[in-house]
Every structure is written in C-alpha cells, then in structure tokens.
Amino acid sequence: MKVMRFGENFTPRLILAVVSTSLEEVAIFVIWRWGLPHFSIYLPLYVLIIIMVAWLAYSVTMFIVVTRVLRKKAIVGLPTMIGSKGKVARPLAPDGMVSIKGELWGATSVEGEIDTGEEIMVVGEDGLKLVVRRSADS
C-alpha cells in the first residue's frame, strides 16, 4: 500500500475538496427535500442516500486521480525529443532545420546531407540542436 505524503499543496487541496464536496452534498439534499417536491417529484430516502454515496465516491476518486497527476514531474526539453520523427524543412548539410510535431528545430545530420522533405528520426542532442538521421521507415 502506497502512503500519501503531505506536500506543500496537498493540505489546502484536501481542505478545499472536503468543503466543496460537503457543499455539493448539501445541494443534493436541498434539491431532494425542497426542489423536486416543488415539481411533484417524490423520491424515497434510499435513492437520496445512493446518490449521495455515489457522489462522494466520485469526488474521492477524482481527488486521488488528480493528486497522482499533479505529483508527476513534467519531462520537457531536448532529451524528450529522442526517438521523435519529423521531416527536413531546410536541407541538412550537415546542419539545417527539421520540423517535428509542427515545430522547427535546428538539427545536425549524422549521415551527411539529407534533402528537404525526407523523413528523419532524432537520435540525440548537441547543445540546443537535435542530432538526426534518416528514418528507417523511408
């Protein structure tokens, strides 16, 4: 069983989640007690209890899922580009530009010259430039 650690953002989010879920449960009760009878809709108490328990389970599940997502560290930068595929935007001789996921990147070819439009794969990084080779698919 994984133990949850109390980070600097965990406690305020937990308090907000408890308060907001409590207010939502009160709103469900108010609708059941006064809103629905106004329209001549009468639901038994067990239906109210089922709805409130279901909403509580949903709220707890969402809190746990969001907490896990927020704990993950985002990996950004050139190292995440390794293995990505793209096309040559300006000829690589051996330096030029490549387009990957709609973005232009400075690149250096490890295979010498590569013409515009050819498919490439990122195999490394060199400072702020990508190191690329022809894609095995082409």
pLDDT at position 55: 97
pLDDT digits (tens, 9 = 90+) for 78-95: 777 889 999 999 999 989
Q: Structural domain tally of the chain?
A: 2
Residue 8: which pLDDT band, with cuts at 50, 70 and 90? Answer: low
Looking at the structure, tell me whether residues 67 and 82 fall in a common domain: no
CATH of the domain at 86: 2.40.50.140
Distance from chain centroid for Cα 28: 31
Max Cα distance, the chain (Å): 79
**pLDDT, the chain, mean:** 89
